[in-house]
Copies of this chain bind each other. A is one copy, B any other.
Amino acid sequence: MIARRATPNAGRPDAATRDRLLAAATRLFAQHGFNAASVRDIARAARANVAAINYHFDGKMGLYRAVVRAAVQAMRAGDDAFLTAATDASPEEQLRTYVAGYLPRIASTDDRTAWIHDLMRHEMAEPTPLAPWIAEHGILPRIQYLSGVVARLLDCKPADPRVARCVISIQAQCLFYRPDRFRAAAFKNWAFTHADLAAVADHIVEFSLAGIKRLASRR
């Protein structure tokens, strides 16, 4: 039967099987993607039975949905922390805040924050039916915020085609610092200390501000 738990009282003595499954699935889906992560591997990592996945989540896709939901939620929570912070600051300062807050999360290798971006990378390479939903709820808000900042910097309407191009230029630079084996091989000394990362954030801001100012003056 279906028979879901009526009250989600997660206050069990030890972590409930459902929670352990969710945690293990988060790690393995982020590492290998939806298809390549097997339910048996997930169950073993969670010290649970395979059937528990179907019992608690209605199958592999249901488990994935739960992971993705949590990912988007964590993403928006992280954004709100520094996006809504200084709405009265200058757009230059807003851009600096954005990059300084975003880049460390992108470049992080700490599993507690990095898994979201690994999940996204797999969705880009081999999309699941959830891809459009993730893009709309996890990414679009950030793009729209950035568009507003850039439009003020360019002193034009957000619909101006230059806005989208500049937003992409900024976003692309940040995203590129997500570590992977390709970058490690193509760019030697890829490992970043905290100081390096701050320098990179500085670079992206200066580089982008110069580019934007240039395009603002033309036309």
Contacts and interface: CB of A to CB of B under 8 A. Distances in A.
- How many copies, total? 2
A143 interface: yes
A175 interface: yes
Interface of A: 32-33, 35-36, 120-127, 131-132, 134-136, 139-140, 143, 161-162, 164-166, 168-169, 171-173, 175-177, 180-182, 184-187, 199-200, 203-204, 206-215, 218
Contacts of A184: 135
A98 to B, nearest CB: 16
Given A175-B172, A181-B131, A33 B126 contact: yes
A182 B126 contact: no
A185 B140 contact: yes
Secondary structure call for the A interface:
helix
Given A36-B36, A132-B181, A175-B172, A143 B186 contact: yes
Contacts of A140: 185-186
A123 B186 contact: no
Given A135-B182, A207-B214, 11 more contacts: A33-B126, A127-B180, A131-B182, A139-B182, A166-B207, A168-B177, A172-B173, A172-B175, A206-B214, A207-B208, A208-B211
A201 to B, nearest CB: 11
B210 A125 contact: no
Given A126-B32, A210-B213, A173 B168 contact: yes
A79 B187 CA distance: 19
A125 B127 contact: no
Contact of A135 (B127, B143, B185, B208): B185
A186 to B, nearest CB: 5
